[in-house]
Amino acid sequence: MAYLKGLDLPYNSMLSNASNYGGTRALSKIKYIVVHYTANDGDTDTGNGSYFGRTAVGAGAHMFVDEDSCTQSVPFTRVAYHCETKGMKFKCDCRNANSIGVEMCSDKVNGQYVITRQTMLNTVKVVKYLMQQYNIPADRVIRHYDVCGKLCPEPWVRVPSEWTEFKRLIAEPEKKEDGEVVETINITVNGKQIKADAIVKDGRTFLNLRSLENAGFEVGFDNATKMRRLDNKADELPIVVGNKDVYIAEAVNIKGYNYVPIRSIAQAMGKSIDYKDGIVSIKE
Ligand SMILES: [Zn+2]
């Protein structure tokens, strides 16, 4: 049993038969996550992983999820054949090439397919993990039904409130164990807009230090302080931004990540900050 960093669910890797998936793609091409169901009765993620591994069926999905684990069948760098159904009219620009396919294992109760609550909650975990990894907003998590009208996942087309509940759960901000809520905010640094993980603590905005790298800054720690671990309380953090040594006041470490007050980082860089229309800007 293995775990992926950031995914709180046992993870198995069982590569699909090579004829079941397509060519390579850049991870940056991934725009959508498409949720499916297997239309089986009591199947498992590993059972599907094994089946697609040994059987050439010309179809498949990246991930299978059941009540106790998930299995990856197709690498995310490869195109899976999961949502382009022949003869169907497309409702949006989601295709196999720009999406990740996630299959939920299903059961049959009184002649009707169901997705159990536990499988649904595990799919929330997998989808939230993928949203985080590939920067997919909740409104680009869709059903196969929303791609081309196919009745998939059938229980979530028949009972739309189950789909609504799933959408509500994936949109909830990540709750850290110590109660800090990490949210994604838009900030502008030197005119370039980036998305940053931030925590609002005591009315102040703390940025995940790694977000600055997305803005094109090289962030490093000098040798003397490399091993230094901040506590979850205000402390001074010496870092190197670009080729400049800066001292960030009141940095905190929350669950292994360094967070810095946005005001301190702007000051250390000799810049000012500006709030307008919900966007924080760091300016000259
Ligand atoms: Zn489907």
146 CA to centre of ligand 1 in angstroms: 10
CA of 143 to the centre of ligand 1 (A): 8
Non-local CB neighbours of 152 within 8 Å, separated by 6+ positions: 36, 37, 39, 143, 144, 145
Mean pLDDT of 239-254: 71
Please, are residues 135 and 27 in contact by the beta-carbon 8 Å criterion?
Answer: no
CA of residue 144 to ligand 1 center, whole Å:
5
pLDDT band at 161 (very low <50, low <70, confident <90, very high): very high
Interval between CA 37 and ligand 1 midpoint (Å): 6
Do 47 and 151 lie in a common domain? yes
Instruction: Tell me if 2 is assigned to some domain.
Output: no
Q: How many whole angstroms from 135 Cα to the centroid of ligand 1?
A: 22
Calculate ∠ Cα 137-73-22, nearest 5°.
80
Tell me the CA–centroid distance for residue 95 and ligand 1, in Å. 12
Q: How many Å lie between the centroid of ligand 1 and the Cα of residue 4?
A: 25
- Of the pLDDT bands very low, low, confident and very high (cuts 50, 70, 90), residue 102 is very high
| Percent with pLDDT over 70 in the chain | 81
What is the whole-number distance in angstroms between the Cα of residue 255 and the centre of ligand 1? Answer: 37
CA 58 to centroid of ligand 1, rounded, Å: 14
Whole-number Å distance between alpha carbons of 41 and 32: 27
pLDDT beyond 70 at 251:
yes
Q: For residue 18, is pLDDT > 60?
A: yes
Beta-carbon count within 10 A of 60 CB: 26
Of 148, 172, 196, the residue that ends a domain is 172
Distance 9 CA to ligand 1 centre (A): 23
Q: In terms of residue numbers, what domain contains 218?
A: 181-283
Q: Residue 119 — pLDDT band, cuts 50, 70, 90?
A: very high
Average pLDDT, the chain: 85
pLDDT digits (tens, 9 = 90+) for 180-233: 777 878 777 767 777 788 887 777 788 887 777 766 666 665 544 443 445 555
Q: How far apart are the first and last CA of the chain?
A: 50
pTM, 2 dp: 0.65
Q: Which of 141, 172, 203 is the last residue of a domain?
A: 172
Of 144, 172, 200, the last residue of a domain is: 172
Same domain, 52 and 86: yes
Residue 107 resides in a domain: yes
The 10s digit of each residue's pLDDT in 62-92 is 999 999 999 999 999 999 999 998 888 999 9
pLDDT at 265: 76
Is 24 strand, coil or helix?
strand
Same-domain pairing of 67 and 162: yes
- pLDDT of 174 > 70? The answer is no
Residues 163 and 88 occupy one common structural domain: yes
Question: In this predicted structure, what is the pLDDT of residue 175?
Answer: 58
Q: For residue 3, how far is its CA from the centre of ligand 1 (angstroms)?
A: 26
Structural domain count of the chain: 2
